[in-house]
Structure 1
């Protein structure tokens, strides 16, 4: 009897193994054919077998999910109404299944972000539900939350909720700080890649094919982030102007004047919006510096000194602030203030030093390049021995102005106009030919101390 039972169980197990083996063979065959169809963009033919492979053998290959992603995107681009809604849900299920079966090769935060974007683009769920989807994705994995469109949607939905009365103005401000900070982080990454390549181009060196692709991609991404930053600021609109901020912080000051976290946020927003002439800014700055002296409190005291016309005291506080600051964007902002102060005084060498520090902290700070270009152009008559050399200074000024528009696309219009103006003042083809300096390098003296290459005819 025992022998019969053992034989029976063995038969069942063997049969089960054969079924699984047969299933795996079927999946491999179907997958191979479906993958070929998907590669050849025969999406309609690929759809059903890919879905079957996903359902029967979900762990067979990550390629199943990758090809299905292509197929569903193609189908969604052609569908409308309820058909499209059903396909969107299929795509969401596909992404969740990929995360389930291939967690090591899938970013949870990225999946959540893509799902949130799908819901937003296709009007699935309420605005509250859509915002919560973006919020969960952002908090799960900020590093992979890099889509310019997703960052805008994340902020835009919260502003809409505030307009509906379900979220507060403080919520909007807090989200704005977080989203803008993230945009600036991504801008800086792109600008860091781009800056040395621009210097290489300006020196007349040929870029490799890989470097050319990197320049192109960086400039595309920088333009996208510049556009979304402008859109976010437009969406914020008058909510963050002095007329709204000052009453808000006046109202809460007496109750929260010992709350360091609140003092930092309140004074920071007033500072960023240049709402520094109202007495509430002095109260906040003084309270913050008393409670916790820091780079920020030193910055605000510098702004107060500047507003009172005490330039030397302002520079002292700004230097202190810059040395203490750890946030790259904020450090750059302080260095820009210091540089602007020295530029106004005509100390161009010192000003350039601080503009370069601003760029080191934040490579996408295009305004620093424009300011350096302006100082160089204004020094043309003083930094060259011959008339040709003096006019050659404008080529260097044009190089700096050009970099401004490329690391910060929001400045591209003014940068392009500035470049054209400087090149118009530089030696023209006839001047280059007459001087016999085509392709040569011209050393520019005085505080500039740089070399510029004469263009080829």
Structure 2
């Protein structure tokens, strides 16, 4: 259950239902008792009064379910054998009851994911097979994917189908489809949080100080996005591992191409996966892209055609077809990374900056630009001092990443410190008597940097 709900529940007398339960003194007294015990983490003491309220007045207050989850999790952890199984099953029932009595507060996908997570954790105690637990997660996905947002649950859902594939119980295409299903759910969650985060970052960049609530929201969005992007998605790729190499994908898609050549979703997912796995040099990749472009032109197909042909018309088409700012930012980043890998740093910077305009809370383009500056230091200065001065520029750029993106604050600070260590020292500045002067950096960089005052 969403832990943030419990904050609201502490004001016990605000959300009581109108009706007979409100007048029930026994429920009122026991509610007050178990609430006090839970706050003190005396879960064993809370169990008795909580059970009375749950059984007698199940609609009395939402604390029955928010606090009840904590109480039963404690009981499960403390018990063994049949007692532990009984508490596990009781928590399963509590999840169902929370939905029954407070349906507007507990989404179906959330509850089904909670039950599946619990079943997975205690699958041995419950004698659950991978098939059975997978089906519990799949029920959450099928019935209410929108509210299936548990990061742990989404990863476990995918992880289980990989295990089932390894056991010969699922086909490769089913495994890849589930990867895309989960990936698309995560993309939607991240997109929603990023849109909200960008508004807060833009306020800060405009010089506005965020209030307490906005500061908390900003931290929540940043931490949530970080979990999905740096933990869940990489873990999924690691789990997939060698099961999705070019040697595996190419024969699979060649075999199924004729059957799916008019299936836009299949073509889209196939070409995306081949690109992600570095298979874009294989002729099949071009075949997939051209076919998708012929039946359903999209920003993605235009982008891939631009990479494959270098024709400007396809890049123009990419920009025109993609209307979602965050998706367009991702395309600009992909393009920038392609140019960066080829050593075309000027073009790479151009597209990294375009990405920043569309997604200002993503600081990674600043770090990429800083890295290109640092790598070019030896080529973009006319004296040894000026070459090393490029590292000031790189450090300044890295610091921007930490300013706009809290997820990168630590990494950006360390990177900036490292770059400054390679820049001219205070002694060098003293010897050249150039404190405070502006140095113009040449070649593709074309920027200026001010020598620090000492």
TM-score, structure 1 normalization: 0.76
Cα offsets for 1:407-426 (capped at 9, x unmatched): 469xx87x676434312134
Q: Distance in 1 between matches of 2:102 and 2:236?
A: 35
Aligned to 2:12: none
Task: Choose 239-248 or 368-377, whichever is displaced more.
Answer: 368-377
Offset of 1:243 from its aligned partner? Answer: 0.6
Contact 2:293 / 2:301 at 8 angstroms: preserved in 1? yes
- Confirm whether residue 84 of structure 1 aligns to residue 88 of structure 2: no
Q: Distance in 2 between matches of 1:316 and 1:184?
A: 28
Aligned to 2:395: 395
Contact 2:402 / 2:413 at 8 angstroms: preserved in 1? yes
Offset of 1:140 from its aligned partner? Answer: 3.5
Match of 1:317 among 300, 307, 314: 314
Aligned to 1:111: 111
Q: Distance in 2 between matches of 1:92 and 1:368?
A: 45
Contact 1:245 / 1:270 at 8 angstroms: preserved in 2? yes
Contact 2:398 / 2:415 at 8 angstroms: preserved in 1? yes
Paired residue total: 425
Q: Distance in 1 between matches of 2:47 and 2:168?
A: 45
Task: Choose 64-73 or 328-337, whichever is displaced more.
Answer: 328-337
Aligned to 2:6: none
Cα offsets for 1:24-81 (capped at 9, x unmatched): 2332233333333333333222212211211111112222222222211222222233
Q: Distance in 1 between matches of 2:408 and 2:395?
A: 20
Aligned to 1:297: 301
Contact 2:200 / 2:218 at 8 angstroms: preserved in 1? yes
Cα offsets for 1:287-340 (capped at 9, x unmatched): 2223333323322322322xxxxx4x2x44234223313566653343124334
Contact 1:389 / 1:444 at 8 angstroms: preserved in 2? no
Offset of 1:193 from its aligned partner? Answer: 6.2
TM-score, structure 2 normalization: 0.77
Q: Distance in 2 between matches of 1:206 and 1:22?
A: 43
Q: Distance in 2 between matches of 1:21 and 1:130?
A: 37
Aligned to 1:256: 260
Q: Distance in 2 between matches of 1:329 and 1:244?
A: 31
Q: Distance in 1 between matches of 2:440 and 2:313?
A: 32
Query: Where does structure 2 lack aligned partners over 5 or more consecutive residues?
Result: 1-19
Contact 2:392 / 2:419 at 8 angstroms: preserved in 1? no
Query: Where does structure 1 lack aligned partners over 5 or more consecutive residues?
Result: 1-19, 306-310
Aligned to 1:17: none
Q: Distance in 1 between matches of 2:211 and 2:282?
A: 54
Aligned to 2:233: 229
Aligned to 2:151: 148
Superposed, 1:201-216 pairs within 5 Å as 213=216
319 and 34 in structure 1: CA distance in 2 versus 1, 3 angstrom threshold: same
Aligned to 1:15: none
Aligned to 2:129: 126
Match of 1:160 among 160, 163, 176: 163
Contact 1:329 / 1:361 at 8 angstroms: preserved in 2? yes
Q: Distance in 1 between matches of 2:95 and 2:427?
A: 63
Aligned to 1:308: none
Q: Distance in 2 between matches of 1:435 and 1:213?
A: 47
- Confirm whether residue 240 of structure 1 aligns to residue 244 of structure 2: yes
Q: Distance in 1 between matches of 2:438 and 2:26?
A: 72
